[in-house]
Amino acid sequence: MSLPPLPPTTTLRLSREGAVAHVTLARPDVRNAFNDVVIQELTQTFEALGQDTSLRAVVLAAEGKAFCAGADLNWMKAMAGYSWEDNHADASRLAQMLWTLYNCPVPVIAQVQGDVYAGGVGLVSVCDIVVAVDTAGFCLSEAKLGLLPATIAPYVVRAMGEQASRRYFVTAERFSAAEAHRLGLVHALATAETLEETVQGLCNAVVANGPMAVRACKRLVQDVAHAPLTQALRDDTARRIADIRASAEGRDGVQSFLNKSRPAWLG
């Protein structure tokens, strides 16, 4: 099954298996580092994927030994002469790319096969589920260059917590996949041999669920995670469950459960 029309890409490899799209960073010669083209293509690709109502999940993967090494060195050399205005515009494009992935209506599953540095940690942090090979290393290395992980910070702090971010932002230490898992940045560890199988199992779990329910669940977490426990929030959550209970998918799912039959979304 092919993807619906998507913008042409030179830095990404795109494919689809059933209701699951695969977006693969395809610059292994530079450790899948970001440049302006990668940022633009990721933004455009995920904007298009977000409009595909038949899509149930997206797997974000990478070719080569590293998942993503942060900023491309040649791109950094070009930025060395940027004005403040140029730097701000460039950072805004990165911020928009991260937001587009984070805001994708369907779950995004990161398949991390190698090291993750700097902006790459931000890329992992905007994904809903992260599976990493147990030999991967992580590093928020910006401070080593006299910089700071500003545009990725909102997502990284949410993903690994304030206390861990305090440490790794200021020390720029490398930490292991096991430590990333302990902190909650990574949900599951796998060996190189079982990485794809583990990700496939998670895709199968997502696809087995009600399509609209999954999208609503993703939005629910984003909306309530940092919201105060007010009457307005209680009213909002009551409205959401009433909406989905009364929907065709919700009615079908409950009746299928009670009747021990298959819901329509499973065919």
End-to-end Cα, the chain, rounded Å: 17
pLDDT at 28: 95
Structural domain contains residue 25: yes
Q: What is the CATH number of the domain that holds 82?
A: 3.90.226.10
Structural domain contains residue 230: yes
Structural domain contains residue 151: yes
Q: How far is CA 206 from CA 201, 212, 265, in A?
A: 9, 11, 12
Which residues, at least 6 apart from 100, have a Cβ–Cβ distance to it below 8 Å? 42, 43, 46, 47, 50
More confident residue, 5 or 166: 166
Answer whether 42's CB lies under 8 Å from 5's CB.
no
Domain shared by 190 and 221, yes or no: no
Give the DSSP H/E element, type plus range, for residue 111: strand 108-112
- Give residue 197's domain range: 12-207
Domain shared by 160 and 225, yes or no: no
Structural domain contains residue 5: no
pLDDT band, very low/low/confident/very high, at 1 (cuts 50, 70, 90)? very low
Give residue 178's identity as a one-letter amino acid code. A
Structural domain contains residue 7: no
For the CA atoms of 120, 153, 52, 6, the dihedral, rounded to the nearest 10 degrees, stands at -50
Residue 2 has pLDDT above 60, yes or no: no
Residue 42 has pLDDT above 60, yes or no: yes
Structural domain contains residue 4: no
pLDDT at 4: 55
Domain shared by 242 and 122, yes or no: no
User: Which whole number is the average pLDDT over 248-257?
Assistant: 92
Domain shared by 83 and 195, yes or no: yes
Q: What is the CATH number of the domain that holds 222?
A: 1.10.12.10
Q: Indicate the residue among 207, 230, 257 that finishes a domain.
A: 207
Structural domain contains residue 183: yes
User: Which whole number is the average pLDDT over 242-256?
Assistant: 93
Domain shared by 88 and 106, yes or no: yes
Structural domain contains residue 2: no
Q: Note the pLDDT tens digit of each residue in 57-81.
A: 999 999 999 999 998 877 877 777 7
Sign (positive/negative) of CA torsion 35, 47, 210, 160?
Answer: positive
Residue 6 has pLDDT above 90, yes or no: no
pLDDT band, very low/low/confident/very high, at 112 (cuts 50, 70, 90)? very high
Q: What is the mean pLDDT of the chain?
A: 94
Answer whether 214's CB lies under 8 Å from 106's CB.
yes
How many folded domains does the chain comprise?
Answer: 2
